[in-house]
Structure 1
Amino acid sequence: MAIAASLQDGHQLQLIEGANAYFASLVSAIDQARSQVQIETYIFNLAGAAEQVALALERAALRGVRVWLVVDGVGTGALPHPWPERFDAAGVQWRIYSPLGRLGLLIPSRWRRLHRKRAVSGGLVAVCGGRNILGDWHDPNHGLLERPRLDFAVSARGALVQQVQEAMTQLWWRLQAVRHVRQRNFPEAFSTFRASGLLHPWTADSQLASSKQLVARAGLLLRDNVRFRSQIEKAYLRAIGLARHEIVIANAYFLPGRRLRKALTLAAARGVRVRLLLQGRYEYFMQYHAVRAVYRVLLAAGIEIHEYQSSFLHAKVAVIDPHNDRPWATVGSSNLDPLSLLLAREANVVVADRAFAAQLYQRLDHAIARDSRAVDPQVFERRPWRHGLRDRMAFGLMRLALFLTGNRY
């Protein structure tokens, strides 16, 4: 299977913001599917409205639809009770990607997580983005939120659907092969692993009536540890290098490596306005503080940094030159930090369409203006020394983690 990074014409796209819109889109697609449904997600937390998705998967399996669900062994761990039993009874096939085992994350190889958030329904609709199966008002670590987190996804029809479906199918068969190996069923494992390298095209459901949507050029970008080690980072570098007017990046966990930092500072040096919308609320020590260790360099280059204040920022999106003849936008699961760009399995959709880029740009511009606080370079320089110490410690821990995995960034 070859999943090209090149963009193809003729896609119908819909930008999705907010859990309610996301769940409604996902449930509608699942309820209309007649052949198959596939979902991959880092977090499968069914508190509140998220349970609608589990109920839709159960309904689909009960009416004979083939349903495959993959969740991550860290982000989800085990499916919440009573859903394992309900899924098994309905015929939903579900797998946990890389369960932690006794030593958990003490083994560096287990830091390679399934961070993708994708779904395909009926071979006609694909959904991809940063959204987990998790309500906007609930956080697994912080409980009930005062305001919903900011996150995006994109729903697509067109050639992109087959790309997403092929990638998800290949991962499923590889998980099946690993399962047979653990059961010491080696002949079955071998045949299953061979099957994972073949295409498994399914006949798509007949076309369903759809509302008026955008028509655009789009493509799928993947990051894994075999064939697509740097595809997403290279796409960012190329788009930033071609920027002529404006770059807006919203990233929950942002810690650019040398190449990305250089690309952004060079863009600012040639007169491109660069705005970063970053996490403004404390969530995790390493991710929160490590990025602040590079604030000084970015601010000195004239890059604007805005910290999102209203709630937790979970978006992983970017827009470049949305109002010009070469618009570029991406919506996906990949942060611009070493955990995403070097270790995790990620998936982003790239779009070259002025209407779509303008829509995403408008939402990010609103979030920057209304819900964020600009970082003042002079105020940042006057921070207490202990804040800088924490930043350097977090940055050092991140570099140590990469060293233990054998990566450089």
Structure 2
Amino acid sequence: MIAEFLPGNRLTLLNSGNEYFPALLAALESARHEIFLESYIFADDAIGHEVANALCRAAQRGVEVNVTVDGFGARNFAADFLPRFADAGVRALFYRRELSTFRLKRHRLRRLHRKLVVVDAKVAFVGGINIVDDNNAPEHMRPRFDYAVQIEGPVLQQVHRAVRRMWEIVSWANFRRRFRLHADAAPCIEIAGSQHAAFLIRDNIRHRNDILNAYIDAIDAAESEILIANAYFLPGVRFGRALYAAAKRGVRISILLQGKTDHPLLRYATQALYHTALKTGIRIFEYERSFMHAKVAVIDGEWATVGSSNIDPFSLLLAKEANVVAKDRRFAGELRASLKEAIANGAREMLPDDLSRQPWHSRLLRWLSYGVVRAMVGIAGYGHRHWHAEEQTHPVRKG
């Protein structure tokens, strides 16, 4: 589906947990009617308990609180939070709860990776930040670097519709814990600002390629600059061709990736692509100050996206994801400035000489990692057939 941009929004960029959690907690404390919260991770740490306490207080004052967590990413949730939530009246559900050993099957890899909060259909939060403390990481990787957006205005209708729909689907699938929502009256949302924005999701029904298509449309239209920061970057054929075509027509492309990672296999697989990218003129930077978890981009200083979707086959073909896309120079400029600062003060540029000095066994490790990741996607049922069928369905535009 084509992104539906709505005017009249106010978007507030939130850099990492230091900015995100105070804004989120303030919104939760002000809730009067309903709260929807979706998170891949809900950690047993200081932030996790602070958010949980705010949700319990809201439920105790009569707010309908609906929490959905991923059954794999938040597998600690049942022991750490569910009893307290049940006592307070917080309604909580698992998306595909893991009750046995994780096996590499397609349905096991379909995770709820969205990070969404909607409060009273008046304010929403969209981004890549889980309910987890920025410092809940190995010491050398602290603090976590990520982004979210606080949204007010008409685009909230799209977010509100998505969280209600997810709640209904997960509730129906949980036979023992079916929670009904109040009647779905379309929220009356007023103009809050002057920014144009759209809300996009990725699922396996009507929105398989919405986020991917939005990226590629923006890349194909790029005239001067593409700036991408993505934690797990392993693009498919369409995305790669679009980037290379943009580079060949003179667009400046910079990609900020992880220098410190929690998934070495994916990082090694990504590094296998560096040589070709650098030959095309794409600049690659690895963020080394701390653990980068961002999934954002800015194109031509006007188009910008912040969300949960990585640019890899797991996010773009399997997981449920959510991104907000803005067409606004002020918002895009703020995100661009933040990314430029991160590159200047926390990243190292990868140069052709760095790659040529790598020993043969290091290069072999990276290509083997790339092959393993692609094989994993194939085993899950999304290998060559799906990756390239999607390419034929949506051919790359030339020029």
TM over 0.5: yes
The amino acid of 1:120's aligned partner reads: V
* Aligned match for 1:200, one of 157, 160, 184: 184
CA change 1:306–1:349 in 2 (3 A) is same
* Aligned match for 2:217, one of 238, 243, 248: 238
* Aligned match for 1:164, one of 159, 166, 181: 159
Q: Does the Cα contact within 8 Å between 2:136 and 2:142 map onto a contact in 1? A: no
Name the CA distance, whole Å, in 2 between partners of 1:64 and 1:80. Answer: 23
Q: What's 2:297 paired with?
A: 318
SS of 2:185's partner is: coil
Deviation at 1:28, TM superposition (A): 0.8
Name the CA distance, whole Å, in 2 between partners of 1:281 and 1:176. Answer: 37
Q: Does the Cα contact within 8 Å between 1:46 and 1:80 map onto a contact in 2? A: no
Q: Deviations along 1:191-249, whole A, 9 cap, x unmatched?
A: x9xx99x98236569x8xx9xx9631001011011111111011000000101011100
> Aligned Cα RMSD in Å?
2.2
Name the CA distance, whole Å, in 1 between partners of 2:247 and 2:150. Answer: 32
Q: Does the Cα contact within 8 Å between 1:23 and 1:50 map onto a contact in 2? A: no
TM-score, with length taken from structure 2: 0.91
The amino acid of 1:201's aligned partner reads: A
Structure 2 counterparts to residues 370-389 of structure 1, below 5 A: 370-389=345-364
The amino acid of 1:247's aligned partner reads: I
SS of 2:142's partner is: coil
Structure 2 counterparts to residues 179-328 of structure 1, below 5 A: 179-180=174-175, 200-201=184-185, 215-322=194-301, 327-328=302-303
> Which stretches in structure 1 are left out of the alignment for 5+ residues?
none
SS of 2:194's partner is: strand
Deviation at 1:107, TM superposition (A): 3.1
Deviation at 1:339, TM superposition (A): 0.5
Q: What's 1:109 paired with?
A: 107
Q: What's 2:89 paired with?
A: 91
Name the CA distance, whole Å, in 2 between partners of 1:254 and 1:66. Answer: 38
> Which stretches in structure 2 are left out of the alignment for 5+ residues?
388-399
The amino acid of 2:87's aligned partner reads: A
CA change 1:347–1:248 in 2 (3 A) is same
Count of aligned pairs: 384
Deviation at 1:50, TM superposition (A): 3.6
Q: Does the Cα contact within 8 Å between 1:318 and 1:331 map onto a contact in 2? A: yes
Name the CA distance, whole Å, in 1 between partners of 2:299 and 2:107. Answer: 35
Over the matched positions of the two proteins, sequence identity in percent amounts to 41
CA change 1:384–1:201 in 2 (3 A) is farther
Range with bigger deviation, 363-372 or 105-114: 105-114
SS of 1:159's partner is: coil
Q: What's 2:149 paired with?
A: 154
> Is 1:338 aligned to 2:333, yes or no?
no
The amino acid of 2:246's aligned partner reads: A
Q: Does the Cα contact within 8 Å between 1:73 and 1:100 map onto a contact in 2? A: yes
SS of 2:214's partner is: helix
Q: Does the Cα contact within 8 Å between 1:46 and 1:54 map onto a contact in 2? A: no
Q: Does the Cα contact within 8 Å between 1:123 and 1:202 map onto a contact in 2? A: no
Q: What's 1:405 paired with?
A: 380
Q: Does the Cα contact within 8 Å between 1:9 and 1:217 map onto a contact in 2? A: yes
The amino acid of 2:315's aligned partner reads: S
Deviation at 1:6, TM superposition (A): 1.5
SS of 1:249's partner is: strand
* Aligned match for 1:176, one of 141, 147, 171: 171
Q: Does the Cα contact within 8 Å between 2:288 and 2:346 map onto a contact in 1? A: yes
Q: Deviations along 1:126-176, whole A, 9 cap, x unmatched?
A: 10000000111112xx3x456312100000011221111111111111111
Name the CA distance, whole Å, in 2 between partners of 1:251 and 1:113. Answer: 19
Q: Does the Cα contact within 8 Å between 1:35 and 1:204 map onto a contact in 2? A: no
SS of 1:104's partner is: coil
Q: Does the Cα contact within 8 Å between 2:104 and 2:380 map onto a contact in 1? A: no
Deviation at 1:4, TM superposition (A): 6.0
CA change 1:56–1:80 in 2 (3 A) is same
Q: Does the Cα contact within 8 Å between 1:61 and 1:67 map onto a contact in 2? A: yes
SS of 1:22's partner is: helix
